[in-house]
């Protein structure tokens, strides 16, 4: 796995990428680094021991994460491609800290260019999905079962049954930060569902 983090002064990772694109190696890639904590992806824990962590310096704003500079994104993308090639990491297993620990993490946040990275072979992005807006949010448990199934198919740790509880809303926010950054609401609205199903279909093909 490859996990992307962001913080004002990140330290616990294999690599740190500064605002100007400088890359610092903090640990060997085969060394377990305590960067994920209690986390799961695709039904498996122990992520610290089976992943490479890249931390981007981000000073943040009162409202969340600052925009990432172009040089920093370019250096991070190149580094990701190198790590993916060395360890044969599938694109579906390139994730953010928020994806593997949605109950306590938000990084790298909605300002991170997941779409651009996917176009360069780092991670996934569903192209051509129409924006269906924020209406028509699903709230009944029967239809939420399909939402939960799609999230689980992508890799999120989510219960198979239940209403729109705080835990599910947290996972939906993590999904939105990654794949629908313009609307981070924690709601299973029409636009979110369209992208959710598209990403789940892509994941199933890999």
Q: Specify whether 11 is located in the same domain as 54.
A: yes
CA 95 to CA 108: how far, in whole Å? 9
Residues 178, 94: Cα–Cα separation, whole Å: 11
Look up the CATH number of the domain holding residue 151.
Answer: 1.10.101.10
Please indicate, yes or no, whether residues 57 and 21 belong to a single structural domain of this protein: yes
Cβ atoms of residues 64 and 111 within 8 Å? yes
The per-residue pLDDT string of the chain (206 residues; one tens digit each, 9 = 90 and over) reads 999 999 998 879 999 999 999 999 999 999 999 999 899 999 999 999 999 999 999 999 887 899 999 999 999 999 999 999 999 999 999 999 999 999 999 999 999 999 999 999 999 999 999 888 888 888 777 789 999 999 999 999 999 999 899 999 999 999 999 999 999 999 999 999 999 999 999 998 77
Domain harbouring 109, CATH code: 3.40.80.10
The answer as to whether 42 is a domain residue is yes
Q: Is the separation of the CB atoms in 58 and 13 below 8 Å? A: no
**C-alpha pair distances (Å), 85 with each of 38, 82, 122, 124, 186:** 27, 5, 11, 16, 34
Q: HSE of 54 in the Cβ direction (CA atoms, 13 Å)?
A: 27
Do 153 and 108 fall within a single domain?
no
Range of the domain at 85: 2-119
Which residue carries 């807006």 as its tokens? 133
Measured CA to CA, the distance from residue 15 to residue 17 in angstroms comes to: 7
Instruction: Count structural domains, the chain.
Output: 2
Query: Are 22 and 103 part of one and the same domain?
Result: yes
Residue that finishes a domain, picked among 58, 86, 119: 119
């Amino acid at each position: 796995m490859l996990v992307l983090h962001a913080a004002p002064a990140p330290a616990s990772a294999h690599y740190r990428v500064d605002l100007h694109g400088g890359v610092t190696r903090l640990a060997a890639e085969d060394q377990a680094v305590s960067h994920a904590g209690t986390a799961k992806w695709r039904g498996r824990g122990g992520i610290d021991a089976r992943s490479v962590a890249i931390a981007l310096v981000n000073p943040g704003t009162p409202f969340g994460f600052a925009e990432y500079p172009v040089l920093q994104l370019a250096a991070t993308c190149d580094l990701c491609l190198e790590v993916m090639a060395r360890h044969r990491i599938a694109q579906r297993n390139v994730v953010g800290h928020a994806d593997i620990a949605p109950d306590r993490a938000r990084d790298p946040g909605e300002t991170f260019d997941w779409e651009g990275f996917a176009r360069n072979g780092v991670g996934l992005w569903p192209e051509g999905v129409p924006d269906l807006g924020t209406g028509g949010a699903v709230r009944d448990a029967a239809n939420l079962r399909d939402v939960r199934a799609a999230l689980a198919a992508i890799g999120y740790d989510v219960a198979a049954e239940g209403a729109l509880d705080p835990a599910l809303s947290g996972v939906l926010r993590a999904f939105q930060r990654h794949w629908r950054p313009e609307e981070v609401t924690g709601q299973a609205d029409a636009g979110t569902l369209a992208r959710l199903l598209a990403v789940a279909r892509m994941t199933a093909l890999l």
